[in-house]
A and B are shown apart, each in its own frame.
Chain A
Amino acid sequence: MIFSTSNIKKNFTTGEVSEEILKGIDLTLAEGEITALVGSSGSGKSTLLTIAAGLQTPSSGEIHFDGQDLGALSPEKTRQIRAESFGFVFQSSHLVPFLTAEEQLLLMLETAGSPLSTKQQRQEVEKILDEVGMGHRKSAYPASMSGGEKQRIAIARAIVHQPKILFADEPTASLDSTKSREVMELLQKLTKTLNIATLMVTHEEDLLTYADRVLTMKDGRLA
């Protein structure tokens, strides 16, 4: 297993009240597989995904990636792993507003320390944009894109540097059913062809057919 978590707990404290959102989660992800995380609102699935992705720290527990305990690494090393080996698709695409579609992907390659030359990077970006059906929109800024287009660019950005893990937090939340299916087919194709371990949070049961494994969360625990 390329990725696993062990006894992950997360407490949130508001004033004097402390609430345990995650109550000891053990999770494994395998390459070439989409693992869907489902559960009712407030069950802790998004919190688990963001902790697994290193976007916030757990209160306790361990996260292992490629044989390394992420909690024991320096912030710089964690950042490096996030940049090189993780990809993210957020609920709302969270693109950088002042970069074109092409630049969003080039930034990701630069951040990941891609060994490709500038010319090769541009070719790679064009290839990925074509794959997500956005080749014709490479010069477009996020403000001029539809919700579906933004999400496709967000997916392209998440995989352009060929990450080992893809974290997707309700990637189709802002899309209609047709666009949702298109995005899921794309995620499924990329997971298989690039041999990525994908962890996806969703509350849409229709989309579970695209997942290889479905994990259900309830009250901060995996059922």
Chain B
Amino acid sequence: MNLAWKEMKKSKTKFVILGSIVFLISLLTFIISGLANGLSQDNAALIKNLPDGAIYMETAAEETHALSAIDMETQQAVLLEKDGAFAFSIQMGFLLNEQDEQQSVAFVTSTSSAEFPDVSKDEIILDRSLEEQGIKQGDTFTNSQFNGEFTVAGFSDGVKYSHAPVAFVHPNNYAEMYRTEDLQMLFVPEAAGLEAIAGLQSFSVDEFLNTLPSYSAEQLSLSMIVWFLVVISGMLFAIFFYMMNIQKFGLYGILKAIGVKTGALFRMIWVQMLVITAIALTLAIVLSQVFEILAPSGMPFYLPISTTLQLSAVFFAIGFAGATLSGFQIRKAQPLQAIQQGEG
């Protein structure tokens, strides 16, 4: 007899309330994770979206890309030798529109690459978020360090750096603005082979991100928030399923007294835990994904389905542990003791 299912069918309201708690806790965790990931993406999507590979900068720059300048000879040698490699630079700056209103951006320029868009001279390609703010193709902008005018040639998706939208510019325009022909960094895809290059220091994408002071400090705080939330939610899950069964000690005592096998009691505990958790987590995953679609465009929110599945697996495991722990308590108790505790 499927005792777990019969109890859930008879006590629908009770189990719906229990499931709602699991749903709300998991939804909260998913949303906060999405916001934290969103902030992280907002800070470094430009770099995070690069494929696996290495970023090289000048050793003398001591891990500060703004101080790095790779000489043209080295740059040419690497670009010739490594398929898919490209050189690039990033500098924070601003654009002025026709009404002299400032728009903070991260100027990025690069040699021809598959990862960054090719930009013609005196044109810029902006992050899509600026289009959502009302900037249109053909709009013009100036910059105090640049004598000409930039014309918006198009928009690119998900390119942010240091919480600012990226503006891709032509290398010549970049050279004029920042008075340097040398680019700061080289990117070499993993497939092209990663070797040491004299005078340059190599970083994986994650290592490079950690050289950015604003990113690493922010990431520490965000990671702490998310992990505290995951740990506390996990503990709540475990306590929740433990208490749910301990409260039914009397019932399990009766079932033990009439001779129901301990295995059947464990099955009852596990089935209820799994059904409640599966339904609650499925709803939370669906709702969090809907939220990602409907979230206001200005709100940094990034929640890949893989993240929700990983968190769900953690919740399942912890919930299972809590439920199993209560099962051991029930198994240990003599039937009469369980009945009396249930009555007490």
B-contacting residues of A (Cβ < 8 Å)? 50, 54-57, 79-80, 82-84, 86, 88, 90, 94-99, 103, 106-108, 110-112, 141, 157
Given A55-B335, A103-B6: A96 and B255 interface contact (C-beta under 8 Å): yes
Task: Indicate whether B179 reaches chain A with its CB closer than 8 angstroms.
Answer: no
Separation of A96 and B260 alpha carbons in the complex (Å): 12
List, sorted by A's number, 16 A–B pairs whose CB atoms are closer than 8 Å: A50-B336, A82-B257, A90-B257, A94-B257, A96-B251, A97-B10, A98-B3, A98-B6, A98-B7, A98-B9, A98-B10, A107-B3, A107-B260, A111-B258, A111-B259, A111-B260
Separation of A157 and B1 alpha carbons in the complex (Å): 15
Beta-carbon nearest neighbor of A108 in chain B: B258
Cβ-defined contact, A103 with B1, below 8 A: yes
Most A C-beta atoms less than 10 A away, residue of B10, B259, B260, B335? B259
Given A83-B259, A96-B254: A107 and B10 interface contact (C-beta under 8 Å): no
Given A56-B337, A106-B1: A141 and B10 interface contact (C-beta under 8 Å): yes
Given A90-B339, A103-B6, 6 new contacts (CB under 8 A): A55-B335, A55-B336, A55-B339, A96-B251, A98-B11, A111-B259
- Chain B interface SS verdict (over half): helix
Residues of B near A95 (CB, < 8 A) are: 254
Separation of A97 and B339 alpha carbons in the complex (Å): 14
**Could you say which interface size class chain B belongs to?**
20 to 34
Beta-carbon nearest neighbor of B250 in chain A: A94
Cβ-defined contact, B258 with A157, below 8 A: yes
Cβ-defined contact, A56 with B336, below 8 A: yes
Separation of A84 and B157 alpha carbons in the complex (Å): 70
Task: Indicate whether B334 reaches chain A with its CB closer than 8 angstroms.
Answer: yes
Task: Indicate whether B121 reaches chain A with its CB closer than 8 angstroms.
Answer: no
Residues of A near B336 (CB, < 8 A) are: 50, 55-56
B258 to chain A, nearest CB (A): 6
Cβ-defined contact, A55 with B334, below 8 A: yes
Residues of A near B251 (CB, < 8 A) are: 96-97
Residues of A near B262 (CB, < 8 A) are: 79
A114 to chain B, nearest CB (A): 12
Cβ-defined contact, B259 with A107, below 8 A: no
Q: For residues 1 through 59 of chain B, which have their beta carbon under 8 Å from a beta carbon of chain A? A: 1, 3, 6-7, 9-11
Cβ-defined contact, B254 with A84, below 8 A: no
Given A79-B261, A112-B259: A94 and B254 interface contact (C-beta under 8 Å): yes
> What 3 A-B pairs come out closest when comparing CB atoms?
A83-B259, A98-B10, A55-B336
Beta-carbon nearest neighbor of B338 in chain A: A55
Separation of A107 and B258 alpha carbons in the complex (Å): 9
Given A83-B259, A88-B257, A157-B258: A56 and B334 interface contact (C-beta under 8 Å): yes
A140 to chain B, nearest CB (A): 12
Residues of B near A57 (CB, < 8 A) are: 334
Given A56-B336, A96-B251: A88 and B258 interface contact (C-beta under 8 Å): yes
Residues of B near A103 (CB, < 8 A) are: 1, 6
Q: For residues 238 through 281 of chain B, which have their beta carbon under 8 Å from a beta carbon of chain A? A: 251, 254-262
Residues of B near A82 (CB, < 8 A) are: 257-259
Cβ-defined contact, A84 with B334, below 8 A: no
Residues of A near B260 (CB, < 8 A) are: 83, 107, 111
Separation of A56 and B11 alpha carbons in the complex (Å): 30
